[in-house]
Chains A and B, each alone.
Chain A
Amino acid sequence: MSFVEYGDTIKDGDTAIVFLGHESMFPVKVQHGTVTQTKYGVIRHSTDLIGKKYGSRVTCSKGGWVYILHPTPELWTMNLPHRTQILYSTDISIITMMLELKPGSIVCESGTGSGSLSHALIRTVAPTGHLYTVEFHQQRAEKAREEFREHGVEHLVTVTNQDVCKNGFGVSNTADAVFLDIPSPWEAIGHAKSALKAEGGRICSFSPCIEQVQRTCLAMEEYGFTEINTLEILLRVYNVRTISLQIPDLGKAAEDNSSTGFDSSNPSNQGSSCVNLQQGTVQFKSGVPLREMVGHTGYLTFATKS
């Protein structure tokens, strides 16, 4: 296993995702002799995991079962230990595309935080690119380094423990793209510009507040960035449900029911909805929005250095 390469079988030292069902999962570090407790019972790593194939169904001690999944940056994002607020895959997707990242890209990032975005960036720029990530919190920087080592991607990333607003990214004229997720991004725009390649590159800043965005945009303009564009992306998830609605009794005679328009023999109705006249209900499939959804994560401001 590696976060940048698929493997078939689970090996000692791998990070694997235990999938319990319905959005419930957690990561495990596979080790000989270790056991993991789940609500379905115990998983013994030596016998239940090591040597098995990713995607297998593993039966736990109480007879219940779980699936073991190969780690991906997206699964990691959903399961990682939070040290800070993190970026989720929806924002990460648009950041990756708008920064034009691909294998071989050199990226600067600050701050590292919990490494949610870092893993996605490394995945995209591998095997020839590199990530320079700057985190001013020493403990977080250490923890991130440790994780990158465990996940087999340390050769693709350099973690620097310094203040990006004061000391910059530690590189100059090398980056194809810069990403900023810090409280005062406008103070780092100058450093971002010098970190980018002389022939140009892309920049993105993530800020929750519009006031931060305004100051950042002004700073970007001042430093000669062009194509400044601010956007926001929201994810809507739908639950797929079969819903049945009762047909009101309007006092019509039973033989009239066939002419109410809910004709079950109508081919256009098949599949998506069906009528049960005995019970007086209409059934159909629907995508129901979740009761609560994320309304705002942050504004994303993109710009080009040319």
Chain B
Amino acid sequence: RKIIFEKQWFYLDNAIGHVYGTTFEVTSGGSLQPKEEMEEVTTETKEAGTDNRNIVDDGKSQKLTHDDIKALKDKGIKGQEIVQQLIENSTTFRDKTEFAQDKYIKKKKKKYEAVITIVKPSTRILSTMYYAREPGKINHLRYDTLAQMLTLGNIRAGNKMIVMETCAGLVLGAVMERMGGYGSIIQMYPGGGPVRAATSCFGFPKPFFDNLHEFPLSKVDSLLSGTFSTDTLPSEPEYNVLLEEESNGLTGKKQASLQETEEDSTTETAMEINETEEQETTDISAEDVEFKEIKEKENVREKKQWERRKKLIEAAALLREKNADGLIVASKFHPTPLLLTLLEFVAPSRPFVVYCLYKEPLLECYTKLRERGGVINLKLSETWLRNYQVLPDRSHPKLTMSGGGGYLLSGITVFLDKGKSDASNLETLKTEEPSSKRCKIQDLHC
């Protein structure tokens, strides 16, 4: 299979059988394995200038022309050698400082020596990659912010977590990695189904998915009000019902036509086919392959639907216990309604974390949670990440990343005080408090 990466295209066939972390050099068309470490070619860097007072930018320091370089490339000469040629044909190279020479070589190497390292997927790799390549798909959730979420949420093996995310499944994958297949996760999803594009990049083993449940966000209200259980079976996601009808219609027509052409197949068998799957495969003669195919498709669909429904009921049962060990929210939606509702499913003394790209919705969320009660230790925070270049005599910060990393609101659930559960009772409760000192503390919370 052909893959394009950074303007290079290659086949992965040659990379199979090597350990993770192996570096490959790209040749015309395939992947080729070079040595782990290349011996340094730059032995003649001894000659160097001290400053750039005599270096003039006249655009003529490189004696090789574009065409020359292209010719070298077309000949299939190794990138290493091209770099060497460029150095030899640079009139100013010798006058540059040692550090500038280093930088020059590094820059050229990057351009001409195409090397690729194949690494194992992990949250570290994938979250850094998504933030750099497709930040829009993960709501600009920076990798250090994701790291905070995993810690603040006390994500670990054995938990029963509720995750609501629209980050392509990256947050879900990160949670799954930390739980290592122990415990259960209920993913709340908007629309027709959960998005797990990034989750599949992790390459999790199959057992990890056994305790991964999903539940449609649109059914949460009915679940909380108790109306869910009664109408759960008929009121499947609508498109499913549509599919069912459609496939039924199709087979119906097919059956009719079959009966016309083939007199020997009685209506009774056709009816039976409709009902049981095992009989169907044995009963059908080799002649009606077409019919069989459609029937199989329908069966797969039915099976899938049945499984979906089963999982939905399982997820609903898990949620109904209202004893989840934590809640993680990172979505494009307004966090307040999500949190106020989903916290109902979380047990007391458990952490929750909400991510939002913007601070203002979290300010509102903070206020609303205070009004609701049942939460303590609310904290609104943000992290700054700074990368450093560390080289002898050349150490300094690389770039500051800020703002774009998003904000977190975290806290811990506690038992909701009976009187406090009613928002209207809040006032009376406050007046009931005898000690003024305590009132002060309460105000501080707000």
Contact = CB atoms under 8 A, between A and B. Distances in A.
Given A19-B377, A102-B177, A306-B20, A97 B123 contact: yes
B383 A236 contact: yes
Nearest to B125: A100
B389 to A, nearest CB: 8
A214 B390 CA distance: 6
Contacts of B413: 55
A103 B179 contact: yes
Interface residues of A, number: 74
Contacts of B412: 19, 55, 69
B363 A231 contact: no
B347 A103 contact: no
B77 interface: no
Contact of B180 (A20, A22, A98, A102): A102
Interface string B144-160: 10111011101011110
Interface stretch (A88-96, A132-140, A161-169, A259-267): A88-96
Given A21-B444, A55-B413, A103-B179, A285 B388 contact: no
A233 B146 CA distance: 13
Contacts of B366: 240
Interface residues of B, number: 73
A156 to B, nearest CB: 11
A236 B384 contact: yes
Interface stretch (A28-36, A107-115, A118-126, A248-256): A118-126
Contact of B364 (A92, A228, A239, A285): A285
Interface stretch (A43-51, A56-64, A142-150, A179-187): A56-64
Interface of B: 19-22, 36-37, 122-124, 127, 143-144, 146-148, 150-152, 154, 156-159, 177-182, 325, 347-351, 359-360, 362-364, 366-367, 376-390, 392, 395, 397, 407, 412-415, 417, 434-435, 438, 441-442, 444-445
Given A123-B156, A238-B359, A299-B388, 20 more contacts: A6-B350, A21-B376, A64-B435, A67-B414, A93-B144, A93-B148, A93-B150, A94-B385, A96-B151, A98-B124, A102-B177, A218-B392, A224-B37, A232-B385, A232-B397, A236-B381, A236-B384, A239-B380, A240-B378, A287-B380
27 contacts: A6-B158, A19-B412, A21-B444, A21-B445, A55-B414, A89-B148, A90-B148, A90-B383, A93-B151, A97-B123, A97-B146, A102-B177, A128-B180, A213-B388, A213-B395, A224-B37, A230-B387, A231-B385, A231-B387, A232-B397, A234-B385, A235-B381, A236-B381, A238-B381, A239-B380, A240-B367, A287-B363
